[in-house]
Amino acid sequence: MENLIAKLLQNIESGKISRRQLMQSAALAAAGSALVAKSFPAAFAQGGGKAFPVTTVNHLSLAVKDYAKARDWYVEVFGMRVVWDDGKKCALEFGSLTEPNGIFIQPLSRPTDKPTVGHFAFGVPTPYFKENKAAMKAEMERRHLENIRPDGEMGWWTKDPAGYTLNTWVTIKDKAMFPGAAFVCEEADSAKCKQGYEEGMKNLSMAPQPSGKGFKALYYSHIVLNVSEADYPKEKEFYTGMYGMKVIYENLKGTNPQIMLRFGKNTLYLRPNAAPGEKPFCNHFAFVVENYNQDTSEAKLKALGLEPKPDSKLAWSITDLDGLRVEVAGPGLPEHIAKDCHGSSISCPGGPKG
């Protein structure tokens, strides 16, 4: 069986068979076999490269005016757990205890800078990452991505084709993954890596705890990356080709051009920059919360002193302390916007609340 799989992979590399033929042959040859499932996680992408499908958002990295105030806000509003804090920056987690989603929060480099999401970190299943770490770097190099370098032993750091910074990490918790780890954890077992990790663990007993008046975030519903419209084709090819994301909506015409890309439970929206020549940025993301209900969620947000605006029947939009757009969402929001609302809540059945 292994020889057959290897031959099929060689055939698609050389162009002797199509990807459709590959999958049909594999299905016939390996019906019911776990070996095939193991042999195809890195499907061949367009252009002869390989895909390394991401399944989670490991974290977003926020640059804010006051890290402690931002930390407390996310803990209170979304019930997040403070898992690392060195008094200058912190890491929050939510959802799964073993494969959590997260947020890294750190201060702006300069007081005059604009708060933003500095980078994304996508999660690749841990055993698969370890087996394909070198192949992932080779694919990044084949694509001529910029600033490729290790992010500790369990991740890669690079920029996407439009120039936005990305991490590709494992999905599980790891002591070599914390804010600033890229600079001290080239070796996970090194003394400086362990010291960096311990520095953020010293005073966790003093970390804020949610009061229970807010929500309980489960995972990211979606994150929005704004890029130049000229970058749409290469961004789409990169995220579908290398990261294995699936297009669930695409419309590049009219007043609301965007591409929506699904991976795991999460969705990446590609939308145009506000001005020509503007660098890629992210200032909008959404969380799926436990037991979402449109009416009770609105009331809870108002009780927290926030001003919610509807984003269909499945989400309320608010702004955090730094003006970043954050949404409280129910499961299925991206699919609803894509299929029922034609890409915009304004077009939902019944209007913005529909």
Burial of 318 from C-beta contacts in 10 A (0-12 / 13-18 / 19+) = middle
Residue 11 confidence (pLDDT): 46
DSSP, collapsed to helix, strand or coil, labels residue 105 as strand
| Mean pLDDT value across residues 222-248 | 96
Phi-psi region of 162 (alpha: psi -120 to 50; beta: other; left: phi over 0): alpha
| Mean pLDDT value across residues 117-136 | 95
Residues 196-208: tens digit of each pLDDT: 999 999 999 999 9
The residues that bridge with 223 in the sheet, in sequence order, are 268, 285
Instruction: Count the Cβ atoms, other than its own, within 10 Å of residue 130.
Output: 12
The residues that bridge with 149 in the sheet, in sequence order, are 157
Name all contacts of 253-256 with Cβ < 8 Å and 24+ positions apart: 256/343, 256/344
Residue 46 confidence (pLDDT): 52
* Crossing angle (nearest 10°) for helices 19-29 and 2-14: 170
CA distance 341 to 337: 5
- In this predicted model, which residue has the larger pLDDT, 274 or 187? 187
Which residue type is seen at 214? Answer: G
Q: What domains are there in the chain, each with its CATH number?
A: 2-40 (no CATH), 51-354 (3.10.180.10)
Name all contacts of 141-149 with Cβ < 8 Å and 24+ positions apart: 142/49, 143/49, 143/238, 143/242, 149/182
Q: Does 145 have pLDDT greater than 80?
A: yes
Residues 179-193: tens digit of each pLDDT: 998 889 888 899 999
